[in-house]
Amino acid sequence: MILDSPRFFGRTFLDEEHIIEQLDQIRLSLPDAFHEADSIVRHKEEVFLQAEQYAQEIIDTADRRSNQLMNESTIVRQSEMQAQQIRQRVQQECESIREQTIAEIDRMRQQAQQELEEMQRMAIAECEAIQAGADDYADRTLHDMESQLGEMLRIVRNGRQQLQPEPPVRASFGQGGMRPSQRGK
Give 15-61 pLDDT, tens digit per residue: 888 888 888 888 777 766 677 777 887 888 888 888 888 888 988 88
pLDDT (0 to 100) of residue 144: 93
- Of the listed ranges 6-15, 155-164, 174-183, the least confidently predicted one is 174-183
Confidence grade of residue 127 (pLDDT, cut at 50, 70, 90): confident
Q: What angle do CA 172, 173, 176 make, to 5 degrees?
A: 80
Residue 157: pLDDT band with limits 50, 70, 90: very high
Tell me the pLDDT band of 171, cut-offs 50, 70 and 90: low
User: What is the share, in percent, of the chain residues with pLDDT greater than 90?
Assistant: 31
Cα atoms in the 13 Å half-sphere on the side-chain side of 127: 12
Q: 3-class DSSP state for residue 8?
A: strand
Q: What is the pLDDT of residue 68?
A: 75
* Cβ contacts of 40 within 8 Å, gap of 6 or more: 105, 108, 112
Nearest to residue 130, comparing CAs of 41, 14, 34, 6?
Answer: 14
Q: What is the mean pLDDT of the chain?
A: 82
Please name the residue ranges forming H helices in 71-169: 76-163
